[in-house]
A = this chain, B = another copy of it.
């Protein structure tokens, strides 16, 4: 991992942040450890306290450390939880998608490829509780007075539950991030009442297949959902293009 430029041309605060980050990544500093105080660090690196502080803020922005005031305070190596990592990934992925003009087809293909990857595991391991969550979301999606935003939120929750059913936290972290980041792109095509019925039906197929522990059926239903989604997107985009 030659992830460490540390050019002499870059900012002091960036270099110091890099140096401390490496110490955390390679295990010199482990979770819970307290970093030296800002004054100590400024002596060690021969820079002012402001520069040290800027470096520490960089680390804090990456959730690598947290700071505490007071007599026994300081900067502590943070325990990176799944939730925090998840949030970071969503931010990064959202930004990446919005800034790189990803086509809907590309995003959709990636999303369903990933989701299908955990379908066999989910079919094998889904618990009764996870099935209940899926059913509950489907029920919610069927309520006619549901706003578009709420429908989309429920859609995300459904797919997240599906991923969680695979029983692998690493997969959940990777996939849920991807699914949520792509949701804004997905939303534009589910914003029609007509498509809800079809989507709900496909969600039902997925839940049914999972209940039967039917991996092939789950996969088929996901493929169905993917095809339907892509067809719908094609139609929507064509209509939008024609309107101009």
Contact = CB atoms under 8 A, between A and B. Distances in A.
B17 A99 contact: no
A57 interface: yes
- Interface SS majority for chain A: helix
What interface size band does chain A fall in? 35 or more
Contacts of A62: 61-62, 91-92
A99 B57 contact: no
Give the number of times this chain occurs in the complex, counting copies: 2
Contacts of A79: 99
Given A50-B50, A114-B171, A171-B114, A80 B99 contact: yes
Interface in A89-143: 89-100, 102, 106-107, 109-110, 113-114, 116-118, 121
Interface of A: 1, 3, 13-14, 17, 21, 24-25, 27, 31, 50, 53-55, 57-62, 64, 79-82, 85, 87-100, 102, 106-107, 109-110, 113-114, 116-118, 121, 166, 168-171, 173-174, 178, 180
